Amino acid sequence: MTEELPRVLIVDDEPGMREGVSRLLKNRGFETGTAEDGNAALECLKQMQYPIVLVDLKMPGMDGFEFLERTQAFERKIICIIVSAFATIESAVQTTKMGAFDFVVKPFTPDDLMLVVNRAVEKWRLSRETARLRAERDAHLLQLATEKSRLRTIMQSMADGLLVVNIDGHVVLDNTAARRLLGRVDASCVSVPIETLIPNEEIYHEIQRLLDARDDTLFFLEWEPDNAEVAGIPMALRVKLASIKDESGRFLGVVVLLSDISEPKQYERMKTRFISMVAHEIRSPIGAVESYLNLFEDGIYLDNPERVREIARRCLDRTTALLALVEDLLEITRRDGPSRKKNIEKIDVAALLRDLVEFHRPSATERGIPMETEVAGERHVIDADPGDIERLIGNLISNAIKYNIDSGKVFIRLEGASDCIRLEVRDTGIGMTPEETKRLGEEFYRVKNSKTRAITGTGLGLSLVKKIVASYKGSLEIDSASGEGSSFRVSIPVRSKIPAAETRK
Ligand code: ADP
C-alpha cells in the first residue's frame, strides 16, 4: 500500500513555474493546487486543505512574506517552503524566523526541490502521528475520567454500604450508605481500622482470615450493633465479605458490603412472638377442655347430670374464646391481604349497639360492673360493613369490661351528627400510662403488669379497631390514666368513602 501524500499548493506569479512544479509533483503522486499570488493562495486554503505550500517570495500584490505572516496565524499549521530567485541569506534567515519550514533557490533541479518537499512530507507525517497520539491519549483520559465518575456515582447511589479494606485492615474507600449505616454521617471511614467501624469479633476474625488466606471465599454474617437504638443505626446488618483481586490475580484487600436487614429481622421476631403467643393462648383452653373430657371418659360424674352440664358449659366457654382468637387471627390476615371486600349496607348503629351491650352484659354483671348507655342525636344510620362495625364496638366494650376493676363502671355514648357518628366507650378500669397508650394498636401489643397478667387476650383487638376506623377514613382518640380508667372515642363518616373496588357489587 502506497503511503498517503499531502496536497501541495504552489504559489507563484510565473505561470511556467507553477505548471512546471505542479507537473513534477503530480508525476510523483502528489495532488496539487496553484495560485498566482498570496491573496489567491489564501482563497485556495479556505476552499481546501493544503498541508504544504510552496510560495514564491516576490510576487505582485501579496508577497511571500505577508503570506507567510498570515498563514502562521492559522490554527491548522501549514508547512511553508519559500521559493525565490532573489534569495539572499538575510531573506532566508528572516523567513525561517517567521516560521517558514525551508528555502529553495531558483533555479533548482527537480532533485533539489524534491529533497526539500520530501522533508516537508516527513514533517507532515510526524506531526500527523503526534496529533493522532495526542487525540488518542485525550480520548483515553476522558474515558478514564468518565468511568471513574460513573463508578463513583454508582457507588454513592447504592442503598448498601460499601467499604474497601486494604491488606493492613484499614478502610481505603467508603460510600455514603456505609457512613449512614455505621452512624458516621459526616465522617469518612477512610483510614479507619475496620475493627473500629465493625466492632464484632466474628466479622473481624473473618476479615482477618480473608486477608491472611487471600482466598476467594464469600462470607455472609449478621451483625446487631450494640448502639443501634441510641444512634439510629439499623437494628441488624447483613455483612458480606469478599476478596478483591486485580486482573493478574494479585490480592488487593477485602470488600465489605453492609445491608440493613432490620425490617425482615423485626418481622421474623414478630412472627416468632406471634407463634409463641398463639400457642400459649391456645394451650390453656385446650388443656382445660382435655382434662374435662378425660373426666367424662373415666366415667366420673356420669350419675350427676347437673355437674356434667356445668362442665360442658365451661368447655363451651373455652372453645368460644378459642374460636374468637382464631377469628381475630383470620381477620388480621384477611385485612392485610389484597382481596378484602366490604359488604356496605345501611346500618342502624343505635340498634346494633343495644344488641352488643346486651350480649356483653352477663360478663359485666358477673364482675359487678354496670353498663350505662346514652344515645344522643336523631340519626345513627351509616353506610358500612356490619361485620366491621360489630367488631369495632364489640372490641371496645369487651376491653372496657376486661380491663376494668370489679364493681367498676362502663359508660357508652353514641351521638349521631349530620356527617358522622361518634361513639365513646369509657371505663373506670385499670387504665394505662401515656407510654402504654401510645403503643395501642400495634399488632400483638399487650400491656404487661400485675393487673393484666391474669387477663387473656391476643393483642389484636385494638389493632383491628384501628384498621377498621382507618378503612372508613374515621378517627380514633384514646385517653387513659393508670389506675383511673380509659376513654376510647371513635368517629365514622355517615357516607362511606371507600373506593369502589373495596365495595361489594
Ligand atoms: P387484647 O385485649 O386481646 O390483649 P387489644 O388489642 O384489644 O388486645 O388491647 C391491647 C392492650 O391494650 C390490652 O392487652 C390492654 O393491655 C390494653 N387495653 C385495651 N383496652 C383497654 C382498656 N379499656 N383499659 C386498659 N387497658 C386496655
Pocket test for ligand 1, best of 327, 331, 440, 490 (most atoms within 8 A of CB): 440
Lowest mean pLDDT segment, chosen from 17-21, 123-127, 443-447: 443-447
Answer whether residue 339 shows pLDDT above 70. no
Determine whether the shortest distance from the Cβ of 466 to ligand 1 is under 6 A: no
Write down the pLDDT at residue 497. 62
Q: Give 280 Cα–ligand 1 centroid separation in angstroms.
A: 18
Ligand 1 closest atom vs CA 452: 16
Indicate the pLDDT class of residue 87, thresholds 50, 70 and 90: low
pLDDT, average across residues 31-42: 94
Q: Give 492 Cα–ligand 1 centroid separation in angstroms.
A: 21
Beginning with the edge strand found earlier in the chain, give each strand of the sheet holding 485-493 in spatial order: 371-376, 410-416, 420-427, 485-493, 475-481
Residue pLDDT, tens place only, 466-490: 999 999 999 999 999 999 999 999 9
Whether residues 234 and 362 fall in one domain: no
pLDDT, average across residues 250-279: 85
CATH of the domain at 84: 3.40.50.2300
Q: Give 458 Cα–ligand 1 centroid separation in angstroms.
A: 9
CATH of the domain at 348: 3.30.565.10
Most confident option among 182-186, 242-246, 432-436: 432-436
Are the CB atoms for 295 and 314 separated by under 8 Å?
A: no
User: Taking the model in full, what pTM does it have?
Assistant: 0.49
Most confident option among 54-63, 251-260, 299-308, 429-438: 429-438
CATH of the domain at 318: 1.10.287.130
487 SS3 class: strand
Whether residues 66 and 105 fall in one domain: yes
Pocket test for ligand 1, best of 327, 335, 403, 488 (most atoms within 8 A of CB): 403
Determine whether the shortest distance from the Cβ of 397 to ligand 1 is under 6 A: no
Torsion region of 299: left, alpha or beta (phi above 0 gives left; psi -120 to 50 gives alpha): left
Query: What contacts 417, CB < 8 A, 6 or more positions away?
Result: 377, 494
Are the CB atoms for 403 and 486 separated by under 8 Å?
A: yes
Evaluate the CA torsion angle 135, 141, 145, 147 in order and state its sign. positive
Query: What contacts 137, CB < 8 A, 6 or more positions away?
Result: none
In a domain, 151, yes or no: no
Whether residues 49 and 169 fall in one domain: no
Please report, as a single letter, which amino acid is at residue 215: D
Q: Give 438 Cα–ligand 1 centroid separation in angstroms.
A: 12
Length of the chain: 505
pLDDT, average across residues 256-263: 91
Protein residue with its CA nearest to atom 12 in ligand 1: 446
Opening angle at CA 464, ends 463 and 466, nearest 5: 65
Are the CB atoms for 410 and 478 separated by under 8 Å?
A: no
Determine whether the shortest distance from the Cβ of 446 to ligand 1 is under 6 A: yes
Whether residues 255 and 267 fall in one domain: no
Determine whether the shortest distance from the Cβ of 458 to ligand 1 is under 6 A: yes
Whether residues 478 and 346 fall in one domain: yes
Are the CB atoms for 38 and 63 separated by under 8 Å?
A: yes
Residue pLDDT, tens place only, 162-206: 999 998 889 999 999 999 898 888 889 998 999 888 888 888 888
In a domain, 149, yes or no: no
DSSP state of 503: B
Q: How far is CA 111 from the centre of its chain?
A: 75
In sequence order, what DSSP letters do the residues of 372-424 get, joined into one string? EEEEESS--EEEE-HHHHHHHHHHHHHHHHHTS-TT--EEEEEEE-SSEEEEE
Task: Give the domain extent around 176.
Answer: 158-260
H-helix or E-strand spanning residue 428? none
| Phi, psi of 7, deg, nearest 5 | -75, 145
Determine whether the shortest distance from the Cβ of 464 to ligand 1 is under 6 A: no
Q: Give 389 Cα–ligand 1 centroid separation in angstroms.
A: 18
pLDDT, average across residues 314-337: 81
Write down the pLDDT at residue 504. 38
Lowest mean pLDDT segment, chosen from 17-21, 241-245, 391-395: 241-245
Write down the pLDDT at residue 76. 79
In a domain, 150, yes or no: no
Number of domain units in the chain: 4
Beginning with the edge strand found earlier in the chain, give each strand of the sheet holding 8-11 in spatial order: 32-35, 8-11, 52-56, 79-84, 102-105
Ligand 1 closest atom vs CA 464: 6
In a domain, 148, yes or no: no
Q: Which residue, 335, 368, 400, sits at the end of a domain?
A: 335
Are the CB atoms for 235 and 266 separated by under 8 Å?
A: yes
| Phi, psi of 219, deg, nearest 5 | -120, 140
Evaluate the CA torsion angle 290, 294, 295, 299 in order and state its sign. positive
Are the CB atoms for 53 and 80 separated by under 8 Å?
A: yes
208's grid cell: 482477618
Q: Which residue, 114, 142, 170, sits at the end of a domain?
A: 142
Buried b (16+ CB within 10 A) or exposed e, 160-198: ebbbbbbeebbbebbbebbbbbbbbeeeebeebebeebb
Most confident option among 56-60, 230-234, 431-435: 431-435
